[in-house]
Structure 1
């Protein structure tokens, strides 16, 4: 097209490394709330954070 254009940088700047253990520690949607709260707390997140991110 003849419209304006601009470059858009691609990729995530926070994604320089990948650790399988980090991916395996993600909570499953089928886990009980008590387990979800524990996993969020282990990452320094509150129950309020759990609700907001769910």
Structure 2
């Protein structure tokens, strides 16, 4: 969530909710093109915590 916030909305003021939605949608579409990066962000901490617990 923090990565999306930094890319889409960090330090920006949106005049309308439509503009905010467009920025969020554009960022989500961007991340859809980077599947491996998204998966590493989601799975990375889980793998580390599992290996640390074992």
Name the structure, 1 or 2, with higher relative contact order (CA <8 Å, separation 6+).
2
Computing the radius of gyration from Cα coordinates, the structure with the larger value is 1
Q: Please indicate, yes or no, whether the TM-score normalized by the shorter chain is above 0.5.
A: no
Q: Which has the higher helix share?
A: 2
Structure 2 length as normaliser, TM-score? 0.28
Structure 1 length as normaliser, TM-score? 0.28
